[in-house]
Amino acid sequence: MTAPSRIPAPEGVAPATQYSHVVTATGRLVAVSGQLALDEHGTLVGAGDPAAQARQVFENLRRCLAAAGAGFEDVVKLTYFVTDVAYLPAVRAARAAHIPDDRLPAASAVQVAALVAPEFLVEIEALAVVPA
């Protein structure tokens, strides 16, 4: 597999600032289910704190990717679900600790009325491509 190729500004499309419009890759697909701010014991991390929840979610994503032989460098798409779009800066800060700006994946951000339980503020799922 070659490294994923990122196209942040296809011709005729406004440039992306916090994601890449297009990411191409070949290899084995790894799909990581939406992760919540739960520690390894199933205990909520960061009650009422979107930044703490986002950090835990990215740590869970890191662990899930590693279990599949992948890392954040292999991520081609992230989908953010937040209960308030005001939490996106906290999500981006947590992402920046794992993914440099020159390797931003494609992304979607969706404000939802609620997640699986009211204490959860952030959920993130990932798609990665690793060598077959």
Structure tokens of 106? 């494609």
Q: Which residues constitute the domain of residue 119?
A: 26-130
Residues 6+ away with beta carbon under 8 Å from 5? 23, 24, 25
Nearest by Cα to 105 from 50, 67, 65, 52:
65
Asked if the structure places residue 82 within a domain, the reply is: yes
Asked if the structure places residue 69 within a domain, the reply is: yes
Sheet order of strands, 122-130 included: 28-35, 122-130, 75-82, 106-111
Asked if the structure places residue 62 within a domain, the reply is: yes
Q: Is the pLDDT of residue 70 over 90?
A: yes
- CATH no. for residue 67? 3.30.1330.40
Asked if the structure places residue 19 within a domain, the reply is: no
Asked if the structure places residue 73 within a domain, the reply is: yes
Residues 6+ away with beta carbon under 8 Å from 63? none
Asked if the structure places residue 21 within a domain, the reply is: no
Could you report the per-residue pLDDT of 26-65, keeping only the tens digit for each? 999 999 999 999 999 999 999 999 999 999 999 999 999 9
Q: What is the CA radius of gyration of the chain?
A: 15
Res 131: pLDDT: 83
Could you report the per-residue pLDDT of 79-98, keeping only the tens digit for each? 999 999 999 999 999 999 99
Asked if the structure places residue 20 within a domain, the reply is: no
Q: Tell me the C-alpha distance between 57 and 112, whole Å.
A: 17
Q: Tell me the C-alpha distance between 1 and 9, whole Å.
A: 23
Asked if the structure places residue 97 within a domain, the reply is: yes
Q: How many domains does the chain have?
A: 1
Res 2: pLDDT: 59
